Chain A
Amino acid sequence: MAGLVRTGVSGLPVRKVEPTLETQAFWDATATGKLLLPQCNDCSAIIWYPKEFCPACTSQHISWIESTGNGVIYSFSITRKGIGAWVDIAPYVVAYVELDEGPRVLTNIVGCSVDDVAIGMAVKVVFDDTGEGMAIYRFTPR
């Protein structure tokens, strides 16, 4: 579980990701700076977190769409005391970002002072390289 942890350009830890059959396409796209979302071909629901069926209608006909990468902060917390790889990182911001496409995605807010973060703030996706081609998605004010 621990995996290799490196420090991303954001200054926050980045751990190796381990794609599964269901999530390979999602993680592969992050290598080219794209945030993909699964969409149900039958009921049009946009699915999060990525999986190969639609929890709204049980369809297994899923396509990938590219997110705009834009959203707003739904909620957040400034962590003052981290655990594990995060113990020396605090303060940092864990947040839910509501993407323009609908899903509320757990993530970090980076590239600004933790004290400037607010619910409703407009943010855009940035990627932190894992060092193995794939990257993890974080968000920064836009």
Chain B
Amino acid sequence: MNDVDSYFCAGDAPGFGGISMADYWGLNVRYTDTTETGGSSYLAHVGHAAAAIAARKCHVALITLAGKPRTGGQQAGRSGASSDAPEAAFESQWGSNVPNMYAQAAARHMYEYGTTSAQLAMIKVVASQHASHNPNAFLRNEVTVQEVLDSPMVADPLHRLDCCVVTDGGGALIVVSPEVARSLTQPERAVNVLGHGEALKHSNNGRIDLTHTGAVWSGPAAFAEARVTPKDIQYASIYDSFTITVLETLEDLGFCEKGSGGRFVESGALMARGGSLPFNTDGGGLSNNHPGNRGGMTKVIEAVRQLRGEAHPEVQVANCELALAHGTGGNLGTRSGSATLILGRS
């Protein structure tokens, strides 16, 4: 902790945010960033930390997340608008909540592209298979497509098993300069930040398009910086607040054509064994953990495990050298943040 010279956190940090946490830990912080883009914040923080380190503003960055929505009374289902937000009067009258707004994205995607509930269910099925190997997963039971379709409808067309879990949890990341990385006792366990992109997607002056996420902007920026393409990616952590979040993001990042996400996931592409793009091998937010209602931290952590070769043997991608992690925060039905990282084995 004595080496930490910069601190990054988001809206989950209590009290005065970064100031309170620096005080709690006794950190000597000389650079800080409290970018708040919901669940995507922590991926953005990695990019911001890497940029600050490259500019020699700091050398050892700490990024944290923690939250207790399951036991601490933090609401998971509220929509994002606080009463003083300029949009609040026009969005808070309708009984909207997080599931029914994401559901509208799913409904429109189905309408435009013929995506089916069974195709969305396949995303949960694969996540549950991966979670069955994770002793820490909140839900370790494998489910079938039929079980997803038979689970209670929360907000048509999203069933309960299309939704992520509500769990307590947290995580931390350290981003360091190349010089510091070389001085580590196990330098081979560090991974390289090769590319970063981020974007804010909003309602576009009342012309919202519910069929895509901000990954259409953050993805290309990250791929360009890393000088790789979607075909090069061996493992992907894809934000999975809901199954539809995954489907749209896969299309937006270029892993398949726009509108073909349903067929892509139906083919088993996301499976750790035999899939062309193994995803969320920890079980993701759908089955493992969605700490603090913010899944971005765990997305980075599992990508790092894959690159280190430290994922569970049943889901470890062979010779994993290039991984992607993507976060979506806020609400896909109104306004949201996106952040994409490309990470490489050192």
The residues of A with any CB-CB pair to B shorter than 8 Å are 1, 12-15, 17-20, 22-23, 27, 45-51, 55-56, 74-83, 85-86, 89, 92, 94-96, 102-108, 119-120, 136
Contact = CB atoms under 8 A, between A and B. Distances in A.
Contacts of B154: 79-81
23 contacts: A13-B95, A15-B93, A49-B89, A49-B203, A74-B108, A75-B104, A76-B107, A77-B99, A77-B101, A77-B155, A77-B158, A78-B153, A79-B155, A86-B95, A89-B95, A94-B94, A94-B101, A102-B206, A103-B205, A104-B207, A105-B206, A106-B334, A107-B94
B78 interface: yes
A77 B103 contact: yes
B208 A79 contact: no
A119 B108 contact: yes
A51 B95 CA distance: 23
Interface in B221-252: none
Interface residues of B, number: 39
A56 B91 CA distance: 21
Contacts of A102: 206-207
A103 B95 contact: no
Nearest to A130: B93
B94 A106 contact: yes
B109 to A, nearest CB: 9
A17 B89 contact: yes
Nearest to B159: A80
Interface of B is mostly: loop
A96 B95 contact: no
Given A55-B205, A79-B100, A49 B108 contact: no
A13 B95 CA distance: 8
B208 A96 contact: yes
B90 A50 contact: yes
B63 interface: no
Contact of A80 (B101, B108, B153): B153
Contacts of B111: 75, 119-120
B152 interface: yes
B163 to A, nearest CB: 11
A56 B204 CA distance: 9
A103 B207 contact: yes
Interface string B138-167: 000000000000001111111000000000
B96 interface: yes
A49 B78 contact: no
A49 B86 CA distance: 9
A23 B107 contact: no
A79 B108 contact: no
Given A77-B104, A94-B101, A105-B206, A82 B95 contact: yes
